[in-house]
Amino acid sequence: MDTFLSYFNGFAALTDPLNFAMLVGGFLIGTFFGAMPGLTSVLAIALLLPVTYQIDVVPALIMCASIFMSGMYSGSITAITINIPGAPSSMMTALDGNKLMRRGKGANALGHAALGSMIGGTLGAVLLMAFMPIAAKVSLLIQTPGKFALIFFALVVIVIVEKGNLAKAAIAMLLGLMIATIGIDDLLSVPRFTFGTESLIEGIDLMPLVIGAFAISEILVQAQNWRLDKAIDLDAVNRIKITRRDFIPLWSEVREIGIWLYLKSTIIGYLIGILPGAGGSMAAFVSYIEARRSSRKPEEYGQGSREGIAAAESANNAMCGGAFVPMLMFGIPGDPTTAIVLGVLVINGLQPGARLLENQADLISPMFAALIVSALILIPLTLYLLGPLFLKMVTISRGLLYSGIAVVALVGSYVATLSVFQMSLSLVLGILAFYMRRQNYSTVAMLLGFILGPDLEQYFRRAMSLSDDNPLIFLTSPDSLFFLLLTAAFVYMIVIRKPKSLPAA
Amino acid sequence: MTGRHRLLTMEFALPAFFLVLTTIYLAQTFAIRGQSGAFWQGPRAMPIAASVLMYALLLVVLVRQVRQDTTPDQPGEILRPLLVMLATGAYIFLFQPLGYGLSTVLFVSALFVIFEFRTAQPAAFALYALIVTATFYILYAVIFGVRLPQLFGVI
């Protein structure tokens, strides 16, 4: 009962002017970054990370939540209008949305994308709030060997979802894990890999890694693709004429899609969100495939199917709620955004786990409320009010945009610790991430390896200490055995079993 | 591309760089103090395990690269990112000596040139550079109260 009362208080906290400003500001920032090809909501939250040193945890978390939700939805804007997904999670939306756009039904497609995002995002957040108390109880049952096995499972899943680049994803993950070992060893308080320099004694902070991997490397990637980007036909964007009324989907179309499709896609998206490393792209893909399989008109998929848009968008926004479950209860982020939110929690002295909901629900409840308000109210409201403007966003000069982002990223990495060393580290890690991205090494795997590495090591060593260096403890402990078997099952399902193919565009 | 030239490409250079990095890392592992008799409980265990795994995976990647007949083409250019790296390095180097204001105006101007933003319109170019610099000064120094480096006590 107390938990649900704290959820209610979370909504009340949004009426505070600062929190409300962060909610709306975050939503608009997320919409902008999500809609602009080449920018992502991850980049927006990465740039926000240094700012969280300067503001309280509640407004910071509210802003993160609204950026996450809006960034996931707004990728559909450019996916539909110019066939360039603003975010990878909108790839499936582009397949059908742009076909409708070419038939003069672009606003209708945007309306269905917003409706799917609204339903998926809201229900995903409701599921998050409903299952958090249960997840908290489950988390208390897991012992030290089980915690190691759970993190091991998460790392394995993060690697295997990078199908086709398994070895490279594993290398990136190990690199993150190795970077995380720099500094004082938590268990024995001895320095490791400091090379005699004081700057490395405290280890490498999350912020330069996030800024480097997601902001600096992005600017370098955009610089590399500069000529290619100029191929975007901005005149075509300027020719698009849309009125506000066109955004409202017809009731007959919604009935044809069916409420079951929205619900099914939401559940798929939510469950995929719980999986570490899977993210919105996989949620949209799996949901789209399932919707096409069970559809009465599968031939319309890829040719302008509103069902396809609804399935993909419901799932990728429902993923937002799911991704918070493992992060808040086990400290295991499901994707880069929740990884950065985890950083915000840790910066403010909050530790994920069952006690978080028990003792600090007043701090995280406003974040849940922000997810719901963003999905339920801000997505349809901003589309209706600002929809025609959204389409013009891609016409903003990239040169101006990337220059501004570079300043925010670098000065941001300075202001957190007032240290030029952090700026330098951001640049070095950014250059490394740039070359890794060029060669298809996953920077997300590197980030999650960095975040989960210390816990993996700590629980492993503690478990070995409990068993006198006997590794059989991981097989004799029931919770550990469960997660190891789960790992094997996922390896079988994702790596060994024959994959389903993408629908024809 | 000949075999010798292919070895100089990024497909080989990056794994080779990781190989060197892992070797330095592994060598440093043995300098860690506090390792007791029980190996797996000590501070060297995880770094050694990670290094061994890293060597195995790098071997897999390198063997795959050698077996590939051709090197895939990399889209895009390389000069522009290099210029961004140089400008960023110079900005970090000059950030404290020149102060936020001057160093940021120079950095933003350099990026405008690299990204070809308003280079034919000097007045607009300078105005936008000042606007970007001032915007983030207001954000960090005025709103968040951060003490940014100054030149002669000015921004």
Q: Which residues of B touch A224 (CB under 8 A)?
A: 75-78, 80-81
Of B34, B38, B80, nearest to A469 by CB-CB distance is B38
Of B39, B81, B128, nearest to A400 by CB-CB distance is B128
Under an 8 A CB cutoff, do A435 and B45 touch?
no
Grade residue B76 by pLDDT with cuts at 50, 70 and 90: low
Residue in chain B closest to A189 (alpha carbons) equals B34
Total tally of structural domains belonging to chain B: 2
Q: How far apart are CA A311 and CA B146, in angstroms?
A: 45
**Domain residue limits at B95:** 79-143
Q: Which residues of A touch B10 (CB under 8 A)?
A: 435, 438-439
pLDDT of residue A504: 43
- Other beta carbons within 10 angstroms of residue A455's beta carbon come to 20
Mean pLDDT of A4-25: 91
B139 with B99, same domain: the answer is yes
Token readout for B94 is 């000059």
pLDDT(B73) > 60: no
pLDDT of residue A118: 94
Comparing A58-67, A245-254, A476-485, B12-21, which segment has the lowest mean pLDDT? A245-254
Most confident of A47-61, A378-392, A467-481, A486-500: A467-481
pLDDT of residue A469: 85
pLDDT of residue A234: 61
| Three-state secondary-structure class, residue A105 | coil
B60 with B83, same domain: the answer is no
Residue in chain B closest to A183 (alpha carbons) equals B32
Mean pLDDT of A373-390: 84
Q: What is the pLDDT of residues A180-200, one digit of tens each?
A: 999 998 888 888 988 888 888
- A130-153 burial, b at 16+ Cβ within 10 Å, e below that, comes to ebbbebbeebeebbbbbbbbbbbb
Closest-CA distance, B69 to chain A, in angstroms, reads 17
**Domain residue limits at A274:** 2-496
pLDDT(A505) > 50: no
Mean pLDDT of A446-470: 91
Q: Which of these, A206, A183, A113, lies nearest to A449 by C-alpha position?
A: A206
Residue A48 belongs to a domain: yes
Under an 8 A CB cutoff, do A400 and B116 touch?
no
Interface-testing mutation among B10, B11, B88, with chain A (most A C-beta atoms within 10 A)? B88
Residue bearing the bigger pLDDT, A372 or A104 = A372
Q: Which residues of B touch A217 (CB under 8 A)?
A: none
Mean pLDDT of A366-386: 89
B83 with B63, same domain: the answer is no
pLDDT(A437) > 60: yes
CB A324 within 8 A of CB A274: no
Q: Which of these, A400, A425, A401, A398, lies nearest to A412 by C-alpha position?
A: A425
B87 with B121, same domain: the answer is yes
Of A226, A415, A461, nearest to B80 by CB-CB distance is A226
Site of tokens 């319309």: A300
pLDDT of residue A450: 93
| Three-state secondary-structure class, residue A15 | coil
Q: Is the dihedral of CA A230, A233, A238, A240 positive or negative?
A: negative
B37 with B8, same domain: the answer is yes
CA A256 to chain centre: 31
Under an 8 A CB cutoff, do B111 and A464 touch?
no
Q: Which of B42, B67, B92 is the last residue of a domain?
A: B67
Q: Which of B67, B97, B119 is the last residue of a domain?
A: B67
CB A323 within 8 A of CB A271: no
Residue A505 belongs to a domain: no
Under an 8 A CB cutoff, do B81 and A434 touch?
yes
DSSP code of B40? G
**What percentage of chain B reaches a pLDDT higher than 90?**
55
- Other beta carbons within 10 angstroms of residue B56's beta carbon come to 11
B57 with B93, same domain: the answer is no
Grade residue A24 by pLDDT with cuts at 50, 70 and 90: very high
Site of tokens 């497909």: B11
B92 with B137, same domain: the answer is yes
pLDDT of residue A240: 66
Grade residue A477 by pLDDT with cuts at 50, 70 and 90: very high
**What percentage of chain A reaches a pLDDT higher than 70?**
94
pLDDT of residue B5: 60
Token readout for A309 is 């848009």
pLDDT(A225) > 90: no
B62 with B107, same domain: the answer is no
Residue A502 belongs to a domain: no
Q: What is the pLDDT of residues B86-117, one digit of tens each?
A: 999 999 999 999 999 999 999 999 999 998 88
Can you point out the beta strands (E) in A163-320? 183-184, 191-192
- A–B CB contacts, 8 A cutoff, strictly below: 182
Residue B155 belongs to a domain: no
**A219 phi/psi in degrees, rounded to 5:** -65, -40
Summary mean pLDDT of chain A = 86
Q: How far apart are CA A38 and CA A189, in angstroms?
A: 42
Under an 8 A CB cutoff, do A225 and B108 touch?
no
B101 with B55, same domain: the answer is no
Query: DSSP readout, A269-302?
Result: HHHHHHSTTTHHHHHHHHHHHHHHHH-S-GGGTT
Residue A254 belongs to a domain: yes
Q: Which of B67, B91, B119 is the last residue of a domain?
A: B67
Q: Which residues of B touch A220 (CB under 8 A)?
A: 81, 84-85
Residue in chain B closest to A53 (alpha carbons) equals B144
pLDDT of residue A351: 83
Q: Which residues of A touch B39 (CB under 8 A)?
A: 469
pLDDT of residue B72: 59
Q: Which of these, A286, A291, A228, lies nearest to A260 by C-alpha position?
A: A291
Q: How far apart are CA A217 and CA B88, in angstroms?
A: 12
Residue A174 belongs to a domain: yes
The answer to whether the complex's ipTM is over 0.85 is yes
Q: Which residues of A touch B51 (CB under 8 A)?
A: 178
Q: Which residues of B touch A397 (CB under 8 A)?
A: 117
Residue in chain B closest to A176 (alpha carbons) equals B50
pLDDT(A358) > 70: yes
Q: Which of these, A184, A464, A459, lies nearest to B41 by C-alpha position?
A: A464
Total tally of structural domains belonging to chain A: 1
B53 with B83, same domain: the answer is no
Residue B54 belongs to a domain: yes
Residue A262 belongs to a domain: yes
Mean pLDDT of A313-328: 91
Q: What is the pLDDT of residues A270-320, one digit of tens each?
A: 998 888 777 788 889 889 988 998 888 888 888 889 999 999 999 999 999
B83 with B137, same domain: the answer is yes
pLDDT(A501) > 80: no
Q: Which of these, A430, A401, A426, lies nearest to B92 by C-alpha position?
A: A426
B88 with B127, same domain: the answer is yes
Residue in chain B closest to A440 (alpha carbons) equals B11
**What percentage of chain A reaches a pLDDT higher than 90?**
36
Of B92, B114, B128, nearest to A427 by CB-CB distance is B92
Q: Which residues of B touch A216 (CB under 8 A)?
A: 88
